[in-house]
Structure 1
Amino acid sequence: MKSDATKPRLANTLVVRLLATLLLVIISAQFLTALIWYRQGAAKENEGLISTVNSLALSAASTVAFFSSLPLEYRHLTLNQLRKMGGSRFFVSLNNHEIAIQALPDSQRKKMVLSEVRKVLNQELSTDQAITLEFTDRENLRVFNTEVRLDEVPQIWANYSLSLGELNPPILVMQIEISPTEWLYLAAILPAPFVLLDTPFMDTKQWFFMGLSSLLLVFFTWLVVRREIRPIAKLANAASAMTEQLDTPQLAEQGSEELITATRAFNKMSLRIKNYLRDRDMLFSAISHDLKTPIACLRLRTEMLPDEATRKKFENALNELDFMVKGALQCIRDTDLHEDIEPVDINHILQQSAELYGRYDKQVTIHGQVQQQYLGKPLALKRLLNNLVENGIKYGKRVEINITELQQQLHIDFRDYGDGIPVPQQQQVFEPYFRLSKQKQEGTGLGLTIARSIARSHGGDISLRNHHQQGLIVSLTLPEH
């Protein structure tokens, strides 16, 4: 019976699992490499940043010292000259109060820069001067006593010191009190390549390169793995086909050395099994033919015995011998059916069995049905089901058949209303010629032996248990294909 649940899931195939593992290893290696690179690069970058910030702070201290040394009336004149000349590395203004700055979010690099600048300024300037340091962005930068936006002042005043092409770097604002009524306002950007306060772990180009390299590696690995796994799939299909039909062709030995070795071993095993089964068939055919003649001769000699009692004993012994030989050969024929796997209608077989063995007083009742046709050997399954129904009628008078389909298994329970079987003997009844009663009974004593052999050849099994009220339950389990 075909079921979607039994089909191999794509996510559970060897190719997908190998590719997923490989992709995980690639991504982990890329991240580990990026992390090591980031930490080493960040350490070197911080060293360069400290040196650059130190130079910037020294320049700021020199500017503060220069303006502090100028007379009050010359300070604004000097500022105007600086603006007409295009400014300096700082945007400089003199304000009569401290301007509130809208600060950027804190970060490790921001704290490091501000700490270094403050340390240098404290070393170079008078300790009684108030110093305010903060980072802001261009849009929120306020300048002059009127606290106008930077974009509202002439561009020539700020473009030289606070512009860096299309980038919008953070701006460091330093306000130093040089007199009770004057604050020197210095604004500057960090020089390249330290224009940003936060260094991204991986930029867009690195992400793109990592993704592209991972995809290319996974793609070519998929091609190689798919090529190597193809012989494994063929080997698995041949092994499955061998359970259904013995006349399977030899597999081509290809692939890796390990696959070639496995394929060669499988071909040898397949050939040995074919030869064994052919020899066994020939042996039992010979036994069937050769035993008929001596048994017939013994029957003739028995008829010639003068003593009636002795003749009767010999006849019983010969009948039992003939019965056992025929039973053994019948067991071989019933369990060794060379059939192709075909869709089998289990419901139809059970209905036929019910009509054949339970035609009187509805001795066989069926509950439930199989939803789809089952893939198996038609004659073997028919003998299996007929044997179980026949045994239930013979020993239990009446049989109830209950059909249950689980996700990957088909369960059929045959409940009779006989005396049941003692638990210690529930496995012995599957042995050939075993009987619970020592009295002579009809049949060969091979019914359950044949039934279990057929069930196991289909990948299933048969188990027994006594019903808690009365009778025996024979449970047949078959896997869905």
Structure 2
Amino acid sequence: MLNPAKNLVLNLISRLSQKVGRSLFSQMLLAILSVLLLAQIVTFGILSEIYSGAISEVNESQQIEKFVTVVETVEQVEGEQDFGSILNPLNNDYARHSIQKRMDLSSVTMNGSEQAVVNKITAELGQSYQGRVWVKQERQPMLMSSAPQNVNERNDKALTELRVVVHLQNDRWLQLTATSSTLSAIAIKQGMTFFALATLLTLVCIAVMIKKITTPLQLLSQASQQLGRGEVVEPIAEQGTDDITETIRAFNQMNQRVQRFAEDRARLLAALSHDLRTPITSMLLRVEMMPESDDRDALLKTLEEMQLMSESTLSFMKLSSDTEVTKPVEVNAFLGSLCEDLVEVGYSVEFNESDLVTLACRPVSLKRALRNLIENGAKYGSHAEVSFSTPAQSSLVIEIQDSGDGISEDKFEQVFEPFYRLETSRNRETGGTGLGMAIARNIIRSHGGNVELSNQQTGLLVRVELPT
């Protein structure tokens, strides 16, 4: 009886699980709703079976009492009086009385339960009816029945139909055919209303509790993502259960340590920058005042290289302590402006616009990283083509395709190392100190993204992936 309902609920749950999100709140609520629905259906089925069984037993006793009265009334009728005027008022949807002139019940056998009803009717009518009463019962197993029992036992089966035949003294046959009443529409409506209200109230209480648990976790997730993108994160309010509160407290302590470390390093770099620039500048002035010679020129070149490397190193290290505020930018306008700037200074750069996409980033830092990548493509690959797409709802992919010869695959990772250059000189005109690619990847990773290289038929492809 319950299998179709169970299958319907399971199919409904399967479809809902595909449509609801994979958040903790929705998954927990769906799981609890599923259990509640199954429990309510099983409970309703069990109670309806028990109720039907109880009603059938009550109906049997009432029908027998009425039948005995009908027999006594019909026995008092004399002659060929119309029995319909007596029996018709007693008939209804669940009980039908009829008079038969002849019936052959010699082949009818009765079980223990049926014989007990015969004995009860005989006791009411008198011993003169001994052997003149026949009973036939139709029963079906109840939901709560245990292991199969003897068919003569009636405790595990509900009565569905009762037939009683009495051979009257006037040689006629009186027959009763009664069926058990089903659950009334009112009873079903009341039961469904009760179960619906109970389920609704339970779900409301559970939803409040789940929301209380998941809200701090959502805040913690958002703060973790912001921290991963290099943003400044304010301490999270410690709320929720003890386990969640302890987790949030640990995150806040870690966040404070990270920020304190970044602040200390920024102060150290500022002092180091001043301490390095002063002696190098002093040495440059002294060497420039020396008489012209090959040694003087070599010293000047070395000092200029030292100055360039120190400034580049300080610039690279300061990026990790960048405190620029995160802002939303429209990607078409952002990349278009950057490419136009490079075209104006003489680089061959082409930008292909796409759909409107908003990206939360630190604009100045990200523009510097992308400028380094695009400038490298235009400088060493003669031409750079920039485009972007959103292959997934939560990611943005920027591709920079140049027209060069590409680079060896074993160099893909090395080019991102600080001071590594495919062109070995330190001349500013040919590439500086080799920190451009390292700075670019550092900035992109601080935004929670990554950069990858691959060789294509048309040249080197730089693929930048960022979370949106």
So what's the TM-score if we normalise by structure 2?
Answer: 0.69
1:463 to 441, 449, 452: 452
Going from structure 1 to structure 2, the CA distance change for 1:455 and 1:361 (only over 3 Å counts) comes to: closer
1:476 to 450, 464, 468: 464
Give the SS at the match of 2:194: helix
2:267 to 279, 282, 290: 282
In angstroms, what is the RMSD of aligned CA positions?
4.8
Higher relative contact order (CA 8 A, sep 6+): 1
Task: Indicate the structure (1 or 2) with the bigger Cα radius of gyration.
Answer: 1
For 1:253, the equivalent position in structure 2 comes to 238
How far the C-alpha of 1:264 sits from its partner, in A, is 1.8
How far the C-alpha of 1:284 sits from its partner, in A, is 0.8
For 1:101, the equivalent position in structure 2 comes to none
Stretch deviating more after TM superposition (237-246 or 370-379):
237-246
For 1:155, the equivalent position in structure 2 comes to none
1:26 to 36, 53, 73: 36
One-letter code aligned to 1:424: D
For 1:444, the equivalent position in structure 2 comes to 433
CA distance in 1, matches of 2:183, 2:333: 76
Give the SS at the match of 1:276: helix
For 2:258, the equivalent position in structure 1 comes to 273
For 1:196, the equivalent position in structure 2 comes to 181
1:429 to 389, 392, 415: 415
Q: How does 1:60-209 map to 2 (within 5 A)?
A: 76=79, 83=86, 91=97, 93-95=99-101, 116=114, 125=131, 184-187=173-176, 189=178, 195-196=180-181, 203-209=188-194
Identity, in percent, stands at 27
Going from structure 1 to structure 2, the CA distance change for 1:258 and 1:362 (only over 3 Å counts) comes to: closer
Q: Tell me, which stretches of 5 or more residues in structure 2 are unaligned? A: 1-18, 105-109, 120-128, 139-158
One-letter code aligned to 2:383: R
Going from structure 1 to structure 2, the CA distance change for 1:472 and 1:124 (only over 3 Å counts) comes to: farther
How far the C-alpha of 1:291 sits from its partner, in A, is 1.0
Give the SS at the match of 1:358: helix
Going from structure 1 to structure 2, the CA distance change for 1:240 and 1:459 (only over 3 Å counts) comes to: closer
8 Å contact 2:269–2:318 — kept in the other structure? no
One-letter code aligned to 2:314: L
How far the C-alpha of 1:21 sits from its partner, in A, is 2.1
So what's the TM-score if we normalise by structure 1?
Answer: 0.67
8 Å contact 2:228–2:448 — kept in the other structure? no
Cα deviation 1:21-51 (Å, max 9, x = unaligned): 22222233334445555666777778x5898
CA distance in 1, matches of 2:415, 2:162: 95
Q: How does 1:211-222 map to 2 (within 5 A)?
A: 211-222=196-207
Aligned length: 405
Cα deviation 1:131-173 (Å, max 9, x = unaligned): 89799xxxxxxxxxxxxxxxxxxxxxxxxxxxxxxxxx99856
CA distance in 1, matches of 2:375, 2:37: 64
How far the C-alpha of 1:244 sits from its partner, in A, is 6.5
How far the C-alpha of 1:212 sits from its partner, in A, is 1.2
For 1:416, the equivalent position in structure 2 comes to 402
8 Å contact 2:236–2:252 — kept in the other structure? yes
2:369 to 375, 384, 389: 384
CA distance in 2, matches of 1:206, 1:308: 106
For 2:149, the equivalent position in structure 1 comes to none
8 Å contact 1:231–1:255 — kept in the other structure? yes
Give the SS at the match of 1:284: helix
2:351 to 359, 366, 373: 366
Going from structure 1 to structure 2, the CA distance change for 1:255 and 1:350 (only over 3 Å counts) comes to: closer
